Amino acid sequence: MPKILSVSTFKPPHEIQQHQAAELTRALFSEKFSNIERLLKVFDNGDIETRNICMPLEWFEKEHDFEERNSLYIKHAVNYGVQAVESCLEGENTLNRPVHASEIDAIFFISSSGISTPSIEARIMNLLPFRDDTKRIPIWGLGCAGGAAGISRAYEYCLAYPTANVLVLSVELCSLTFQKDDYSKSNLVGASLFSDGVACALVAGDYSNIKASQPMPKVIATSSKFMPDSEDVMGWDVKNSGLHVIFSKSIPSIIKKWLGPFVHEFLDVNELTKKDIAHFVAHPGGKKVLEAYESALGFDSTKTDISRDILRENGNMSSPTILYVLERFMENKPDTGDYGLMAALGPGFCGELLLLKWE
């Protein structure tokens, strides 16, 4: 079965404390909300301490049209993406040798926070020495589910082509979508939660000539699930000024009702139970989302400790976030034979599950 041999992450240059984001939001929104102090408690209750963004905080005090936002998205996505790819191919702590870009057979590019044609991975291929026959598979619109879905699609590619080496590059610059004149509660919640991040993973087929220097997670199986008629749960409302966040307060309750049967069915098909899962690689959509995971799956809070740490240190970066979580698990070097469950949810409404085994 295909293996995940290397994961790298990249933090954009501007680190902000949660109280700084709250102060900016108070300054921008106080005249529109009579109960602003009560609403700002969302910044304190989310278990987020720091976040990284691609622009300095004062940039968000001014108006910016869609053209400016998207130009910044392309510029920074290419720059940060190059650095994440280079670090992943170096594989300092997991690969037995550096990998040259010419050894990569396919690139899955995952994003939902900006638009680019040609897509970002094509622009990166002009800066790094990839082969000109490298397959390009850009995937847009999966939001927080995108990182897990990218690994799933790379796994399937490597099943079809067992000698293949595949990159999954996930770039989200959610901060660029912040709308200073959008006084909806969704925008306020988004301002308290979302941030920018970049991650890259190397997935290799069974007959790849690239090897790891330690036990690494093998992908055993994957599953996708779609909830019909749920477009209003999360996503973007596209307007002249850019992307406006749609974020339903019902997400935690949906997870509690919907995720449990999805996971248990997936484990049953693979002849496992939740007791067999040593590591829960969960996308930390937010504090309430993690609590909903625990309630739905019957996991105690220790199973989500790493996801909580990533959320506390980075906020919700959308699609790359789960790869930050996976990287932390890999750094902790799970025992050979350990099973892991990778889970992420996104717009659609949809879910993506992967069964991992360290070998």
Q: Which residues pair with 204 in a beta bridge?
A: 3, 165
Is 158 in the active site?
no
Pairing of strands 242-247, 234-239: antiparallel
Query: Which residues have C-beta within 8 Å of that of residue 78, sequence separation ≥ 6?
Result: 120, 123, 124, 127
Q: Which of 88, 144, 158, 350 is catalytic?
A: 144
Query: Three-state secondary structure along 21-70?
Result: HHHHHHHHHCCCCCCHHHHCHHHHCCCCCEEEECCCHHHHHCCCCHHHHH
Single-letter amino acid, residue 93: N
Asked if residues 148 and 343 have their Cβ atoms less than 8 Å apart, the reply is: yes
Which single residue is written with the structure tokens 């449990």?
260
Pairing of strands 217-226, 165-173: unpaired
Cα 235–195–217 angle (5° rounding)? 85
Looking at 274-343, list the stretches that DSSP marks H as alpha helix, in order from N- to C-terminal side.
Answer: 287-297, 305-314, 321-331
Whether omega before 118 lies within 30 degrees of 0, making that bond cis, reads: yes
Single-letter amino acid, residue 327: E
Which single residue is written with the structure tokens 């700002």?
40
CA 291 from centre of chain: 18
Tokens of 110: 């995952």
Q: Which residues pair with 340 in a beta bridge?
A: 279, 356
Asked if residues 186 and 230 have their Cβ atoms less than 8 Å apart, the reply is: no
> Which residues are annotated as catalytic?
144
